[in-house]
Structure 1
Amino acid sequence: MESMWLGSILSALATGAGALPVLFMRSATHRFRDILLALTAGIMMAASTFSLIPQALSESNLRIVTLGIFMGVILLTLIGRVIPHFDLESKMGNKIDKKTLLIITAITMHNLPEGLSVGVSYADNTDGLGALIAFAIGLQNAPEGFLVGLFLVNQNISRFAAIAIATLTGAVEIVTAFIGFQLTQYVEGLVPYGLSFAAGAMLYIVYKELIPESHGDGHETAATYAFISGLLVMIYLIHWFGG
């Protein structure tokens, strides 16, 4: 339990850490933003396909893994329809209005399944799996926090307030990590479903959000190399954690 708390807290706080550069800057180039997003996509792709799914298969079967993956994809689809995706850069304004609050709420809601992924991974009791997924989610949270922080600063929010708000959007992951961890303690056979669910949710984010955004501004080549680099980084980490 202690390791789950530590991993989920550090993973969630990575959102605030990612926002720290807004203390010194008010903008970032499209190229830098796309590279960050693609690097994140590669990390999450590798974590899903080379860690979560193989572990779920080793503890269950193809039917359970397939069902769990589609549960994750369907939930993210429903969240996306209820609270749609927003392009932060296209919403720059001069004040916090209802639309801005909706954007912040949407980002917070999209973080909920990521916390579940961390909690379920720690509940599996496989050496290093929880820490590995927490690390992957944390790496994903950092550029997200950076973009949220930039967005808020450009809304004329103070830099420290922008960092605080960005941190809070990620802090919800701590709550859902605890929920995911506790559910697996009381529901027998839930872990492989949870691992597959986490993989499906992460794959949805990669293909629906990160890859399209990283290819939207004419930097496809740089984004492709960043994606492959992120994939390889995570493969090395999986090999390292797996001993």
Structure 2
Amino acid sequence: MVLPIIISSLCTSLGALPVLFIKDVSHKGKDIMLAYTAGIMVAASAYGLIPSALKLSNMTILIIGILIGTLVLTLLEGIIPHDDLNHSSDSTSQSSVVLFLVAMSIHNVPEGLSVGISHSQEIGIGPLVSFAIGLQNIPEGFLVALFLLTQKISRLKSIFYASLTGVIELIAGLVGIIFGESFQSIVPYGLAFAAGSMLFVVYKELIPESHGDGNERASTLTFILGFITMVFLTDLLQ
């Protein structure tokens, strides 16, 4: 029962490995990658998390979860020392890195709970859910590592931090197995919370950074490409 959850979580690390072969990224390349990341996150929220939350609950819970996620990220941003990004340089924004990792980790909590609960209920869908989430974790792992690489984080550290977000999902999956149906009512809140936190990071950090150095047109087109990519993957796994 535990092995499928472990494998599903490890897919995040697997997806992060390709950054080992990515060469130094130019400033324009960085902006394009940030925009692609933003497109994926918006699609994951609008096409994946939000509809799933609505299917499991109602509009009230969805709104509450999104607003709480936004509020938590707003408070967190106020706590984290914020470095104003200089778009003419390759400086690293500590706030951007931390907020992004927090948003992606939060995103993995309801996914992990869903996998764990699907196994605990013994209705035969556990392996299917683990497989679907595992496939989704591969591009997500690449997404996290790629973003960190654009923020001047080393390749090995980028893979390590991406893997940590997978560990969060593993822990949530184990909690889902242990508590089973007791945690089922929390999942919709978690999905909506994750959507709110990811949308906050996209609009507050990723889009402004990708548009700050004269690459607006290329970044916009890449944002749309990222959005389409995630919509396609989500539809493929449904």
TM-score (norm 2): 0.77
Count residues in correspondence. Answer: 218
Q: Which amino acid aligns with 1:28?
A: V
Q: Which amino acid aligns with 1:165?
A: K
Q: Report if aligned partners of 1:53, 1:195 keep a CA contact under 8 Å in 2.
A: yes
Q: 1:188 offset after TM fit, Å?
A: 4.4
Q: 1:133 offset after TM fit, Å?
A: 4.9
Q: Which amino acid aligns with 1:123?
A: L
| Partner residue, 1:44 | 41
**2:211 paired with 1:221:** no
Q: 1:138 offset after TM fit, Å?
A: 2.1
CA distance change for structure 1 residues 129 and 62 in 2, over 3 Å: closer, same or farther?
A: farther
User: How do 1:1-243 residues align onto structure 2 when only pairs under 5 Å count?
Assistant: 1-12=2-13, 14-15=15-16, 17-18=18-19, 20-21=21-22, 25=23, 27-86=24-83, 87=85, 90=89, 103=94, 107-108=97-98, 110-124=100-114, 125=118, 127=129, 130-131=133-134, 133-135=136-138, 137-148=140-151, 151=152, 162-184=154-176, 186=179, 187-242=183-238
Q: 1:144 offset after TM fit, Å?
A: 1.6
Report the RMSD for the aligned CA atoms in angstroms.
Answer: 2.9
State the alpha-carbon separation in 1 of the partners of residues 145 and 160 from structure 2: 13
Gaps of 5+ in 1: 93-99, 153-161
Q: Report if aligned partners of 1:46, 1:231 keep a CA contact under 8 Å in 2.
A: yes
Q: 1:137 offset after TM fit, Å?
A: 2.8
CA distance change for structure 1 residues 9 and 76 in 2, over 3 Å: closer, same or farther?
A: farther
Deviates more, 1:173-182 or 1:41-50: 173-182
Report SS of the residue matched to 1:218. coil
TM-score (norm 1): 0.75
State the alpha-carbon separation in 2 of the partners of residues 9 and 115 from structure 1: 14
CA offsets 1:93-137 (integer angstroms, 9 cap, x no match): xxxxxxx8x94x973564134123223124324846634652453
Gaps of 5+ in 2: 119-124
Q: 1:44 offset after TM fit, Å?
A: 0.9
Identical positions, percent: 33
State the alpha-carbon separation in 1 of the partners of residues 141 and 82 from structure 2: 21
Deviates more, 1:198-207 or 1:109-118: 109-118
Q: 1:212 offset after TM fit, Å?
A: 0.8
State the alpha-carbon separation in 1 of the partners of residues 226 and 109 from structure 2: 23
Q: Report if aligned partners of 1:88, 1:147 keep a CA contact under 8 Å in 2.
A: no
CA distance change for structure 1 residues 212 and 240 in 2, over 3 Å: closer, same or farther?
A: same
Report SS of the residue matched to 1:164. helix
Deviates more, 1:181-190 or 1:36-45: 181-190
